[in-house]
A and B are shown apart, each in its own frame.
Chain A
Amino acid sequence: MSEKPHGRVFDLSLHLLDRQVLDRDGRMVCKVDDLEFERGADGSLYVAAILVGQRALSHRIGGRLGVWIRSIAQRLSTDDVPRIDFAQEDDIGSAIKLGASRDSLGVAPLEDWVREHIVSRVPGSRHESE
């Protein structure tokens, strides 16, 4: 669990939820789709992790649409909901900056799959555009 600097108050919905998450190199990782809480030793709630992906987001979209999205997402992947431990978080500003590199996080299974099976097979995927 991380400690917040003294004097900074965060509004979860304003400053955390739906924010873009960037890795230490400034590359885009994901959005804060949902948050996971834990109870600390003193009984207060702490933000434990950022939850990522369609299943996490479906809870916040809610209603029948949310249930529908969740059922599709669950069919596509039976793993746990991807999460980023909040210890990785480095800075909270207009985006959430992580201390780790994007590739080490493993929160984008779809990206990895698509890259492996589709994009890599197309010529020119490694090059910067001319």
Chain B
Amino acid sequence: MKFLQVALGILTAIGGFVDIGDLVTNGLVGARYGLSLAWATLLGLVGICLFAEMSGRVAAVTHRGTFDLVRERLGPRAGLANLVASFLVTALTVTAEIGGVALSLELATSVNYILWVPMVGLFVWLVIWRVKFSILENGAGLLGLALLVFGFALWKLHPDYGSLVHQVFVPQKPPNERLPSYFYYAIALFGAAMTPYEVFFFSSGGVEEGWSRKDLMIERLNVFIGFPLGAVLSLAIAADAALVLKPRGIEVDSLGQIGLPVAFAAGKIALAVAILGFVAATFGAALETGLSCGYSIAQYFGWQWGKFVRPRQAARFHVAVLLTLIIATGFVLTTIDPVMITEYSVVFSAVALPLTYFPILVISNDPDYMGDKRNGRLMNALASAFLVLIVVASVAAIPLMLWTRAGQ
């Protein structure tokens, strides 16, 4: 029984790792830079593992959500800055995810994506309103495993694995590419892997599921096995793009291009599985980001939050989620390109990272909250080093965006 629980958690973590940001950014970067930016994804992976573990531990030990504690520990003003930054970025991410679901449905049906958008928004809200948290989490995560088909397609392409590995570990910027764009996309990949909402969702989700100290081992296995395997999926998406799209000089600007390598290498059924993966990954992420927007506001103000109580008991929380979804859906309906929204959302995620991650480090270190489960020295050293990296990426993101005109 315990084994099943662990397996479920890991599988959910793998399938849930990839969202529209990872799909688009990895596809785009793979087609343009091959695997020479894989190091940025791997770096982001280490970062998210560290901070997800910390925030999960905080939830298990304190039974409180991170935003709740951020305001307590850092005061209402710092907490408000944190809230505003996280909320805006996460709301932008919700918008991107809803757009992603609609685009995936368009690929499956050739019905224009705009027509899907209102339904997607409604469905996201319905699931958040009615479906039990663990079913919501596990369902989306398990279906997201369909993206493993990208690994299957990679195998079918018979790549030179040695050369791929070499590209990953001895990264070389392609000669015709400029350095500023190279680093701009490194930051984008970093932001795609280390999305701010992930850690807040992880901690609030831990409270939703009633984690306690005895669940710490499971929580760590989810993070340290599940997330890395999820990142491997991201790299497979990039590798497929590198092998099929790059030689043809195809620049990725639509979701359809990202799935073409799977069809090319492995056929119709594989493509159908990939589309299922797209829908599951983006829909799951829409649920998570929608909930995260509600969690962050409710926890800051001390409102009752969560799906573990009846909606009537957490009225403001549910209305906050509803309003976020309405605004996000409205934004997608303006017909601004969802892929472009996604590209901006990952870069702005990178910008917001210090504000959202620094408090987690502070709280998971606090003996008053964590007791004997506070960070060890190694964890602190690693996390602090990462914080420096996060600040560098955050500060460099906007200047690079302006300088390279968003990566041209």
CB A111 to nearest CB in B, in angstroms, measures: 5
Asked whether A18 is an interface residue with its Cβ less than 8 Å from the other chain, the reply is: yes
B301: contacting residue among A31, A61, A115, CB under 8 A? A31
15 A-B pairs besides A122-B129, A125-B310 with CB distance below 8 A are A18-B75, A28-B303, A28-B304, A29-B304, A30-B302, A94-B62, A94-B369, A114-B319, A115-B315, A118-B315, A119-B315, A120-B312, A124-B129, A126-B310, A129-B131
Asked whether B77 is an interface residue with its Cβ less than 8 Å from the other chain, the reply is: yes
Name A103-121 residues within 8 Å CB distance of B. Answer: 108, 110-111, 114-115, 118-120
Interface pair B76/A18, CB less than 8 Å apart: yes
Asked whether B64 is an interface residue with its Cβ less than 8 Å from the other chain, the reply is: yes
Asked whether A80 is an interface residue with its Cβ less than 8 Å from the other chain, the reply is: no
B318: contacting residue among A27, A62, A119, CB under 8 A? A119
Asked whether B260 is an interface residue with its Cβ less than 8 Å from the other chain, the reply is: no
Asked whether B130 is an interface residue with its Cβ less than 8 Å from the other chain, the reply is: yes
CB B268 to nearest CB in A, in angstroms, measures: 35
Residues in A whose Cβ lies below 8 Å from that of B132: 129-130
CB B19 to nearest CB in A, in angstroms, measures: 23
Give 3 closest A-B pairs by Cβ, nearest first: A31-B302, A115-B315, A114-B315
Asked whether B71 is an interface residue with its Cβ less than 8 Å from the other chain, the reply is: yes
Interface pair A125/B301, CB less than 8 Å apart: no
Name B130-152 residues within 8 Å CB distance of A. Answer: 130-133, 135
Residues in B whose Cβ lies below 8 Å from that of A124: 129-130, 311
Asked whether B348 is an interface residue with its Cβ less than 8 Å from the other chain, the reply is: no
Given contact pairs A20-B68, A94-B369, A129-B131, A60 touches B76 in the complex (Cβ within 8 A): yes
Given contact pairs A27-B304, A118-B315, A125-B310, A18 touches B72 in the complex (Cβ within 8 A): yes
Asked whether B373 is an interface residue with its Cβ less than 8 Å from the other chain, the reply is: no
Interface pair B302/A129, CB less than 8 Å apart: no
Tell me the complex Cα distance, A124–B71, Å: 32
CB B140 to nearest CB in A, in angstroms, measures: 15
Instruction: Report B230-248 CB contacts with A as 1/0, cut-off 8 Å.
Output: 0000000000000000000
Asked whether B305 is an interface residue with its Cβ less than 8 Å from the other chain, the reply is: yes
Asked whether B313 is an interface residue with its Cβ less than 8 Å from the other chain, the reply is: yes
Interface pair A61/B77, CB less than 8 Å apart: yes
CB A78 to nearest CB in B, in angstroms, measures: 20
Residues in A whose Cβ lies below 8 Å from that of B305: 28
Tell me the complex Cα distance, A128–B131, Å: 9
Name A13-52 residues within 8 Å CB distance of B. Answer: 13, 18-21, 27-31, 33
Asked whether A6 is an interface residue with its Cβ less than 8 Å from the other chain, the reply is: no
CB A103 to nearest CB in B, in angstroms, measures: 10
Interface pair B316/A21, CB less than 8 Å apart: no
Would you mind naming 10 contact pairs between A and B with Cβ atoms under 8 Å apart?
A18-B76, A20-B64, A27-B304, A28-B302, A29-B302, A111-B304, A115-B312, A119-B311, A126-B310, A130-B135
Asked whether A8 is an interface residue with its Cβ less than 8 Å from the other chain, the reply is: no
B302: contacting residue among A21, A61, A114, A119, CB under 8 A? A21
Tell me the complex Cα distance, A60–B312, Å: 30
Interface pair A126/B316, CB less than 8 Å apart: no
When C-beta atoms are compared, the residue in chain B nearest to A30 turns out to be B302
Tell me the complex Cα distance, A33–B75, Å: 10
Tell me the complex Cα distance, A19–B79, Å: 13
Residues in B whose Cβ lies below 8 Å from that of A127: 310
Name B20-68 residues within 8 Å CB distance of A. Answer: 62, 64, 68
Tell me the complex Cα distance, A33–B302, Å: 9
Residues in B whose Cβ lies below 8 Å from that of A111: 303-304, 315-316
Name A48-104 residues within 8 Å CB distance of B. Answer: 57, 60-62, 65, 94-95
CB A1 to nearest CB in B, in angstroms, measures: 24
Interface pair B312/A119, CB less than 8 Å apart: yes
Residues in B whose Cβ lies below 8 Å from that of A20: 64, 68, 72, 302
Tell me the complex Cα distance, A30–B303, Å: 6
Asked whether B307 is an interface residue with its Cβ less than 8 Å from the other chain, the reply is: yes
Asked whether B80 is an interface residue with its Cβ less than 8 Å from the other chain, the reply is: yes
Tell me the complex Cα distance, A28–B68, Å: 11
Interface pair A129/B369, CB less than 8 Å apart: no
When C-beta atoms are compared, the residue in chain B nearest to A127 turns out to be B310
CB A123 to nearest CB in B, in angstroms, measures: 9
Interface core residue of B71, B129, B301 (most chain A CB under 10 Å): B301
Interface pair A27/B313, CB less than 8 Å apart: yes
Interface pair B80/A61, CB less than 8 Å apart: yes
CB A24 to nearest CB in B, in angstroms, measures: 15
Tell me the complex Cα distance, A117–B320, Å: 14
Residues in A whose Cβ lies below 8 Å from that of B301: 30-31
Interface pair B319/A118, CB less than 8 Å apart: yes
Interface pair B129/A114, CB less than 8 Å apart: no
CB B179 to nearest CB in A, in angstroms, measures: 40
Interface pair A126/B312, CB less than 8 Å apart: yes
Residues in B whose Cβ lies below 8 Å from that of A125: 310-312
Interface core residue of A60, A62, A120, A124 (most chain B CB under 10 Å): A124
Interface pair A119/B319, CB less than 8 Å apart: yes
